[in-house]
Amino acid sequence: MATIAPHDVQPQSFTVQLHPAPASQIIDEMVQAKRLDELENALNLISPQKFANASAGDHANGKLAFRGKAELGIFHAQIGRDIDVILEPEEADDRMAFVVASSGAGEFFFRGRTYSHSASRAIIMPSGSERAFRIAQETETMALLVSRVTMAECCAKLLGHDIPGFIDFEVSADLDTPAGRSWLRLLGYAEAQMSDPYSFVRHSPMAWRQFEQQLLTGFLLSQQHEYSQALLAPQAAAVPFYVRRAEAYIEAHFAEPLSLADIAAQAGVSARSLQNGFQSFRHITPMMFLRSVRLHRAHAALQAADPALVTVTEIALACGFRHVGEFGMAYRRVFGATPGQTLNKRR
């Protein structure tokens, strides 16, 4: 998926409004179009898709809008007529979408099944295989686009231990429940914060991080997935100080050639005590935590790097990995892609 880029929108009948907030990295973009082919072109800037039951030049009264960042944003779409939208197969990226009808209703077709789509029934949709929406004329769709990597990291923090790979959410989400209504209120609050030009989340990276964590936590607690019961279970005893001290030391020195003895010495306990503490409260070993930190730092570096200026090997070594082959295998298990694929997405 890619956010709408105003300079890529060519048809002259588009109305494109770009409102960059001063000193803010939040994107504010809007596209209006009177023809279906123009809307289709604009939607293809987000993901490959086509309209199945209409001619290219047919009239429409469409509006598209995006607000947020690449890893977390809210997208609105109104086509203005009855339409079938086919989302074509694409290479799966690390994003997913929570899709709800702000008004009207429709259907979602995915992996041989049909799901209703309305104000009380949402769709949780990963990228990848072919998907389709049947949308009525009066339907306006809102979608929360979010990074699956960031979602998994938030879940791991809440659980207190690492998790293997992405989270599998149920496709259909009932919003006519206390949890569903609570989530919709939080989503409305999130949109209001991103819309307000004076909101702290637009201008303060610290406020954005807290805002992002609040939104992801609400999503994890309100939707059904394999960690739902664990997240809602009573909290265990407080994590010992030496485990937290070891984690902080690892976060600060992950690129160095650390041993278990090095980490235990900094935590102020024996290696055995540290090992037992991590197993009891994090359900992993200190060295597994170190590898997880290195992998996620490498992932962030690969996403930000210019492939013309840096190599996978250089990033792996800079993040503390000494065996590039082992790094590649571990990276693919966690992120579902090779390091080279992540690096070359910038091309």
Res 3: pLDDT: 37
Question: Which one of 26-35, 75-84, 257-266 scores highest in mean pLDDT?
Answer: 257-266
In this prediction, residues 187-214 reach a mean pLDDT of 91
Q: Please give the pLDDT value at position 122.
A: 95
**pLDDT tens by residue, 326-347:** 999 999 999 989 999 999 876 5
What is the C-alpha separation between 299 and 301, in angstroms, rounded? 5
**Domains of the chain, with CATH numbers?**
6-222 (2.60.120.10), 241-344 (1.10.10.60)
pLDDT at residue 53 is higher than 50: yes
Phi-psi region of 84 (alpha: psi -120 to 50; beta: other; left: phi over 0): beta
Checking if the pLDDT of 14 tops 70, the result is no
Range of 59-73, 120-134, 262-276 with top mean pLDDT: 262-276
Digit-coded pLDDT (tens) for 216-253: 999 999 999 999 998 888 766 678 999 999 999 999 99
Which of 14-18, 80-84, 219-223 reaches the highest mean pLDDT? 219-223
Residue 139 has pLDDT above 70, yes or no: yes
Average pLDDT over residues 290-295: 95
Q: Name which of 37, 41, 77 is nearest 59 in CA terms.
A: 37
Calculate mean pLDDT across residues 147-167.
Answer: 87
Q: What is the DSSP string of 306-335?
A: -TTT--HHHHHHHTT-S-HHHHHHHHHHHH
What would the mean pLDDT of 162-188 be, rounded to a whole number?
92
Choose among 22, 23, 20: nearest CA to 6.
20
In whole numbers, what is the pLDDT of the chain averaged over residues? 86
pLDDT for 235:
67
The predicted pLDDT at position 29 comes to: 86
Helices 148-159 and 286-304 pack at an angle, to 10 degrees, of 160
Q: How far apart are CA 347 and CA 340, in angstroms?
A: 11
Q: How confident is the model at residue 2 (pLDDT cuts 50, 70, 90)?
A: very low
Q: What is the mean pLDDT of residues 43-56?
A: 78
The per-residue pLDDT for 206 is 87
* pLDDT value, residue 15: 45
Is it the case that residue 20 has pLDDT exceeding 60? no
Name residue, tokens 């082919």: 37
Residue 256 pLDDT greater than 90, yes or no = yes
pLDDT tier at 124 (50, 70, 90 boundaries)? Answer: very high
